[in-house]
Structure 1
Amino acid sequence: MHPTAEKITSRRPWAVLAVVAALMAGIAIWVVSAHTIAGSASHRPLSVPSLNWPVDGQTAVDVEGLGRIGTVGVQTPVPIASVTKVMTAYVVLRDHPLRDGEAGPDIVIDQQAEAESSSTEESTAPVRAGQRLSERKLLELLLIPSGNNIARQLARWDAGSQEAFVEKMNRAAAGLGMTDTKYTGASGVEDSTTSTATDQLLLAHAAMRDPVIRAIVATPSVQAGKTMPNTNTLLGRNGVIGLKTGSSTAAGGALMWAAELSDGATQRLVLGVVLHQNSGNSPRAGLEAALSESGKLIAALEQALPGIVNANR
């Protein structure tokens, strides 16, 4: 035996034990890390080229089957405006599930929803008290033209009051692991509803697993006495198939988006959230910034995805 080794073994057994303990700890850490990576693709470290990331606000992007492409900006809770409505739809459909193409039960429009439909201070959809509209139609009016009055109508229908519905929204957020999110209303008009891009990305994954939400957010327009276009003007460009816009002075522009992009062999679902674009200015200017910055990022991802996939096989 080598004399040095013998000396260590015979005179300093604690040193050998320390080395063994360190090796075992290292193995344990590796096993935990490997399990985390295998169990949650969103935590895998990926090799990603430089992309056209927004320089303002915060952004997070995931690619189905790969994981987190990137997170940019400080992930502190900010107002999210009408992106809130994705959680509203998610909770309604969790409580009252529909099959794809199913209309669901009729809902009687109340006087409050009609009165709010004439507001010039927020986005609304035209409805009349006593009118009977299906759950599916109201979800379309919620997500396509972004009707705030429809969000509150759905909340009252589902939970009896908006306050009770908000409790459900926050429980659902907690269940999805959205630890930096707080909902205070069903529509997002309240600046006190705040979240982060990474939290909203968790919701995007859950929402796109519902075929009804997935179909609605890909719809260019809805009829409600008139044609009401989808507020997401990126639809149909660079593989975009959804999801939801938001804008206010405090929130700036926000966009939760979904796109189907080719990796050179198959189509992959790519999900992203862009928040707090051009905040402090007009809601319109903020929304234009969110759409523009998201559009540039998605176009860059469309070109880069085959290389990203090959580099991370």
Structure 2
Amino acid sequence: MSRLSSLIACILTSSLLALPLLAEAAQTRHKHSSKQLARAKAVGKVKSFKLVRKGKVTRLVAVKPHKRGSHITRVSALPSTLDQAFDQPALFSSAALVVNATSGERIFEKNSQALAPIASITKLMTAIVTLDMQLPLSEPITITDDDVDTLKNSSSRLLVGSTLTRGEVMHLALMSSENRAAHALARTAPGGLAAFVARMNRTAQSLGMQRTRFEDPTGLTSANVSTANDLIRLVQAAHHYPEIRAYSTSESYNFISSVNGREYSFHNTNPLVKNEGWQIGVSKTGYISEAGKCLVMQATINDTPVVIVLLDSAGRLTRIGDAQRIKKWLESSPAAMLRAG
């Protein structure tokens, strides 16, 4: 009897010692199953799961999706919750907005209401105001010392004393972002520089750009501020002007200087206008240190006209890379195509 008692005591002791190990093993299996489930869901290989009990063991198994022709209908064009959370272009620009130019549908946005300096995006408004004043584009304009940048001391190959037509000056302001050209457009307008800037602000308000403010016609001052949301309106308005469409997307322009008789060649600051994969209707770049690298465009992507606004990108080419990422996303993502209409 004493031997039997000893045996029972030994069995009970072993069982008690084994309980923590069994609990740990069960917890490990549960974690492993959870990881498999999460991984399977992430890659989209498993549609749904159910618990199957066989004897005393409960297993988590995949349920195969219903084959076509079954009574369950799936709308494959609609993105899942997972797609909506993760199917977004990863952009380096601090603020961005992509809008369907026809319907106004917002396709993508990031900090679209953040107020920021807009640098030479300003020149689109400079061109709009100039054209609205119906000043003759064939009228000659001479670049003077007043047009030289003394705020940022930016360089220019548009020599003081150069005489071009107003149309040529606007061309250089939009295509090459020439600050002297933009300043000359405002300086030579009736009423002078101050009256011209006042017109810029009135035009912004008339377009519904409620948070936009202009202090100069070039964008060299960081006091020229706007939001991605407001700039959508600016690009949309600019697209209505044939001259802005032509000048802003022109690849290059050559002319003979009236100062020294030499030929000068100016090029577009947006390399995408030379890319055959892009259909660009309006383009404008911008940069000052306070604004970072900026880019706005009206373009047709995947047969849909869109407006793209990218603000405050740090790297030299990151704004171009962001535009390319948006284009690829619009062309390949079901979620993006759905939003684009």
Q: TM-score, normalised by structure 1?
A: 0.71
2:144 corresponds to which residue? Answer: 111
Aligned to 2:300: 260
Q: 1:224-243 counterparts in 2 under 5 A?
A: 224=255, 225-237=263-275, 238-241=277-280, 242-243=282-283
* Alignment partner of 1:77 is 2:115: yes
1:172 CA drift (Å): 0.5
* Alpha-carbon separation, structure 1, partners of 2:164 and 2:226: 31
Q: Compare CA radii of gyration and give the structure with the larger one.
A: 2
Contact 1:51–1:301, Cα closer than 8 Å, also in 2: no
User: What is the one-letter code of the residue matched to 1:139?
Assistant: M
Question: Which of the numbers 57, 71, 89 marks the counterpart of 2:94?
Answer: 57
Q: 2:317 aligns with which of 272, 277, 288?
A: 288
Q: CA deviation at 1:64?
A: 2.7
Which amino acid in structure 1 is aligned with residue 311 of structure 2? L
Gaps of 5+ in 2: 1-77, 256-262
Structure-to-structure mapping, 1:162-173, within 5 angstroms: 162-173=193-204
Do the aligned residues in 2 keep the contact of 1:82 with 1:247 (CA within 8 Å)? yes
Instruction: Measure, in 2, the Cα distance between the counterparts of 1:162 and 1:174.
Output: 19
Is the CA contact 1:79–1:195 (under 8 Å) kept in the aligned structure 2?
A: yes
1:35-64 CA deviation, whole Å, 9 max, x = no partner? xxxxxxxxxxx9896231425411111123
1:206 pairs with 2:237: yes
- Cα gap change, 1:154/1:310 in structure 2, threshold over 3 Å: closer, same or farther? same
The amino acid across from 2:205 in the alignment is A
Give the whole-Å Cα distance in 1 for the aligned partners of 2:298 and 2:323.
10
Q: Gaps spanning 5+ residues in structure 1: where?
A: 1-45, 99-103, 279-284
Q: How do residues 1-313 of structure 1 correspond to structure 2 at under 5 angstroms?
A: 50-66=87-103, 67-73=105-111, 75-96=113-134, 104-112=137-145, 116=148, 121-122=153-154, 124-129=156-161, 131-224=162-255, 225-237=263-275, 238-241=277-280, 242-262=282-302, 267-278=303-314, 285=315, 287-304=316-333, 308=336
% identity of equivalent residues: 28
For 1:223 and 1:119, locate their aligned partners in 2 and report how far apart those are by CA, in whole Å.
28
The alpha carbon displacement at 1:311 in A equals 6.7
**Shift of the alpha carbon at 1:291?**
1.9
CA-to-aligned-CA distance 1:269-297 (integer Å, 9 cap, x gap): 2111111112xxxxxx4x42222222221
Between the aligned partners of 1:91 and 1:124, the Cα distance in structure 2 is 23
Contact 1:80 1:254 in 2 (8 A): yes
- Whether the 8 Å contact between 1:252 and 1:277 is mirrored in structure 2 is yes
2:253 match: secondary structure? strand
Contact 2:117–2:222 (CA under 8 A) maintained in structure 1: yes
Q: Distance in 1 between matches of 2:340 and 2:313?
A: 31
> 1:116-171 CA deviation, whole Å, 9 max, x = no partner?
28998325341442x44222211111011111111110001124422221101000
> Which residue identity is paired with 1:121?
N
Q: Deviations over 1:84-130 (max 9, x none)?
A: 111111111111278xxxxx2222304225x728998325341442x
Aligned residues of 1:106 and 1:132 also touching (Cα < 8 A): no
Structure 1 residues 120 and 65, CA, compared in 2 at 3 Å: closer, same or farther? closer
Aligned residues: 249
Change (3 A) 1:148 1:299: same
SS at match of 2:271: coil
Deviation at 1:220, TM superposition (A): 0.6
RMSD: 2.7
